[in-house]
Amino acid sequence: MAIATPSPVARRDGEGHGPRMGLVVNLLSILVGLLALPVALVGLVPFFGIANYLAIPIAVVGAAIGILSGHKTGRNFNIFVIVVAVVRLILGGGLL
């Protein structure tokens, strides 16, 4: 009777794809933030503040992706975009 032992490839720390996968997920988060940033910048122009209602959900998705990675850069960048959009909406009276 053979005893089943875990293979040397299997990991128990939850990182089945190696350290590079977190970097790739972080880069994806940054790319989503770079998509949301121009939308938020257009929303800074008077009469185009409604664009921030589109920028915020895009940046929230980017922040969620950034949380999944082990790095902080993508998450922080998306949080910055969210703060810019929310402050503009508050100053314009669109968000109470």
Structural contact between residues 78 and 59, judged by C-beta atoms closer than 8 angstroms: yes
- State the pLDDT at residue 2: 67
> Domain limits of the chain?
32-92
Report d(CA 49, CA 64) in Å as an integer.
24
CB 95 within 8 A of CB 51: no
pLDDT tens-digit series, residues 23-64: 999 999 999 999 999 999 999 998 899 999 999 999 999 999
